[in-house]
Structure 1
Amino acid sequence: MMKKKPWQRYLVASLIVSSLVSGWLLAQKKSPLKPGVQIVPATVRPGEKAELKVTLNLSSGMHINSYKPEDEFAIATELKVGEVPGLVLELPRYPSGKKHTYSYAPEGLTVYEGYVAIVLPLQVKKETKPGRYSIKGQLKWQPCDANVCYPPEKADIVALIHVK
């Protein structure tokens, strides 16, 4: 058996470290998610209803886990919104995801692709005074492609509703 020379050990170690670092750098890819936020309608009267819409645009080849991804290790997409005096906020309505299998999830994951809209219905209380009300929250998601899932991300969500 031949002894490895120090430079050969160094070369092997360098190749291993290089492959690990390059894999980590690839996993730092910029998220495909560009959240948009709007209230429809933006102006309401006391007692009326509206919807907060959070839209997601995913680039081709990318997906995010659905609200219920059907895998215990997958990080779900989730919209959390704080209470707002004068408004009754319902639970967010998430779209149905599509089930796909991946090398890292052979049993399948339920995911969102392309354009996605999460809707949060709300109602202005009858006793709410006229003015502008700020709805604040946070959207969490985990972007993935067919080969790897990237670190989880989050974005603050802010929307204004005008009560007449």
Structure 2
Amino acid sequence: MQLFIQPLLVAILLTAATSFLAKPLPQSPPNIGVTAGLSSDKVQRGRTVQATVVMDIPSGFHVNSNRPLEKFLIATQLKINVPKGVRVSAVSYPRAVLRTFKFSKNRVSVYEGRATMRFNVTVPASFPSGTSEMKAHLRYQSCNDEVCFPPQSRDVSLWLKVQ
């Protein structure tokens, strides 16, 4: 009986030790920080300011770029909603890096660390003074080395203080 119990105990202990030491895969997407800002606190009518939306991507994760190289990957998209009359330029996305991951045989175009998207905001000369809200809607898909998570969306406000 002891010959049977001793190997069984060793097997149980080894299984428990390897399970404890194994790093589990995250079951939920990472917390991507998203912030936005303007190049100037106040905007004069008839002028243009630069706006940014910044993603802070935790170490060990990445976000697909705005131009992924695989059809099954979801592109990062930034859409800006502005008050009537305000104009917004096309979004300038950051340069992506090409990486190879376990989930794809081909290289993938991604953002890592801090990714800053830029665009210009032009306030017409006839725009009323005061504070107006712009909304930036960011859609992205985050992944680690092995899996991609479902796409997420984040909204962030930018405040135009027009003089």
User: TM above 0.5, one fold?
Assistant: yes
Unaligned residue ranges in structure 2 (runs of 5+): 1-23
Q: Which is greater in Rg?
A: 2
TM-score w.r.t. the length of structure 1 is 0.80
- Please list every run of 5 or more consecutive structure 1 residues that lacks an aligned counterpart in the other structure: 1-24
Alignment of 1:109-120 (within 5 A): 109-120=108-119
Once the two structures are superposed, residues 95-153 of structure 1 have per-residue CA deviations (whole angstroms, 9 ceiling, x without a partner) of: 11001111212111100000111112111111112111110131111110111111111
- Answer whether contact 1:27 1:149 (CA < 8 A) is retained: no
Aligned residue runs from structure 1 range 34-45, under 5 A: 34-45=33-44
Alignment root-mean-square deviation, CA: 1.6
Counterpart Cα distance in 1 of 2:74 and 2:125 = 38
Aligned counterparts of 2:31 and 2:98: Cα–Cα separation in 1: 19
Q: Displacement of 1:42 after TM fit?
A: 2.3
Aligned ranges 1:4-43 → 2 under 5 Å? 26=25, 28-43=27-42
Q: What one-letter code is carried by the residue in structure 2 that aligns with 1:59?
A: P
Q: TM-score, normalised by structure 2?
A: 0.80
Question: 1:141 and 2:145 equivalent?
Answer: no
Structure whose residues are more often strand by fraction: 1
2:147 is paired with a residue whose SS is coil
Q: How does 1:68-83 map onto structure 2 within 5 Å? A: 68-83=67-82
Query: What CA distance in whole angstroms lies between the structure 1 residues aligned with 2:122 and 2:64?
Result: 29
Matched residues in 2 for 1:50 and 1:64: separation? 27
Q: Deviations for 1:23-82, whole angstroms, at most 9, x for unmatched residues?
A: xx9563242311011111121101111122111111111100000011111011111112
The alpha-carbon deviation at position 156 of structure 1 amounts to 1.1
